Amino acid sequence: MIQAFCDESHDERDRVFTLAGFIGDESEWALLADKWQERCTKDGVDCYHASDCAGQWKDFAHLSDSQCIALNTDLITYMTETRLKGFAISISIPDFVKVSQSGDKARGILGPSPYFLGMQMLLLRICEDISVNNPDEPMPFVFDRNEAVSGEAKRIWDDLRAKNPRLATYMRSLTYEDKQQMIPLQVADELAFEAMKNAIAWAEERPDRRPILRMKEAGILHSSEFLGRDGLEEMARNPAG
């Protein structure tokens, strides 16, 4: 069975919001989870969280900077050794606010927050891919638990299914789980964090960061998009596009 695991990330200065996820066969997820858990346990980490690792915060406070870098590097290596397929949607938060406040139409199209716009785009991108490459595989989607958005997210899920009957075939179920209990959500967290940092680099006209380059070179990052002001304004004018 093909499974999708998704998570979110945003930077401490609220410049970029990212929603990202990997899809893959359950056997691929199981093999990666075993290696992932073993490597984290080696460093005394119960649950991997990318931003905490990068900042040496909370469960990573006992690790040195070089140990955190080594852990992150090893986990990305394990990811690149799989046949998972990753998707990421990043949105400029200041531009989202400006465009969504420009009028009722824009606000209605973009929605109340970058989370919901990113969720819609991510689900559509993944389902389009599944419709081409795994047409007989309705897929469960698992997102990291977020009580603040889960109710509205279910409404968006139902609305997407109603408006996209062809793609609804591949949207088997939506659940929210705890990444402490599900290593695939920790993997999705790593992709979301790295895609978010990379989107900041793009916004500042810098090249891809090394972690994203490694994922692209390995073929596990299928698509990564960044919506700034131009893209958001175009979406508000032409939602079908």
Pairing of strands 221-227, 85-92: parallel
> Does residue 35 sit within a domain?
no
Q: Return the pLDDT at 153.
A: 84
Q: Give the domain CATH number at 147.
A: 3.30.420.10
* pLDDT(112) > 70: yes
Q: Is residue 170 part of a domain?
A: yes
Q: What is the pLDDT of residues 53-72, one digit of tens each?
A: 999 999 999 999 999 999 99
Q: Look at residue 205 and tell me whether its pLDDT is greater than 90.
A: yes
* 3-state secondary structure labels for all residues of 88-129: EEEEEHHHHHHHHCCCHHHHHHHCCCHHHHHHHHHHHHHHHH
Q: What is the DSSP letter of 59?
A: G
Pairing mode, strands 16-25 and 85-92:
antiparallel
Q: Which domain holds residue 192?
A: 2-26+84-237
- Closest Cα partner for 85 from 168, 139, 4, 166? 4
211 lies in some domain: yes
Statement: residue 129 has pLDDT above 50: yes
* Closest of 73, 71, 84 to residue 27, by C-alpha: 84
Does residue 213 lie in a domain region? yes
Local confidence band at 241 (pLDDT 50, 70, 90 cut-offs): very low
DSSP labels, 120-168 = HHHHHHHHHHHHHH-TT--EEEEEE--TTTHHHHHHHHHHHHHH-HHHH
In a domain, 59, yes or no: no
- CA-wise closest residue to 15 among 86, 85, 95: 95
Is 142 part of any domain? yes
Residues 6+ apart with CB under 8 A from 7: 19, 20, 21, 143, 144, 179, 185, 188, 189, 191, 192
Task: Flag whether the pTM goes above 0.85.
Answer: yes
| 108 domain residue, yes or no | yes
User: What mean pLDDT is predicted for residues 126-152?
Assistant: 86
Is 114 part of any domain?
yes
Pairing assessment for the beta strands 221-227 and 139-144 based on DSSP bridges: unpaired
Answer for the pair 208, 200: CB distance below 8 angstroms, yes or no. Answer: no
User: What is the pLDDT averaged over residues 27-49?
Assistant: 97
What phi and psi values does residue 95 have, to the nearest 5 degrees? -70, -35
As for how many domains the chain has, the answer is 1
